[in-house]
Structure 1
């Protein structure tokens, strides 16, 4: 928990860059079969420049709920 997520040039193959969208959560694919799936997680703030981490997937957890809207990934609870 708490490992930062960084933007990086796409590399194939690279398991660190493979994700699955499942029920609004962005899951790190390489963690799905290990018994402890990890998700993309935004801290409790919704301001600009907030860091994004990987965190154990939790349901419900608004910090891990996203939608793809117009080609952008958005935090679900920020939408009207």
Structure 2
């Protein structure tokens, strides 16, 4: 699933919802169009969310002291692509 699928479903849904005035065996194509448009928007949002969350990672460092106790520190690392 990616941006392409989301855009395709959104476009197909909007075409069915706004441009088609027909019915197939008592199936409301306008409602089917709105459902496809909503699924397309959801696919685009999920793709954007997963692509953005993949760039953020965490680094955890654990230090063991001489008396046996441990201290953990956590920091966020942003893996942004290099600027060209």
What TM-score do you get using the length of structure 2 for normalisation?
0.21
TM-score normalised by length of structure 1: 0.21
- Structure that is richer in strand per residue: 1
Q: Which has the larger radius of gyration?
A: 2
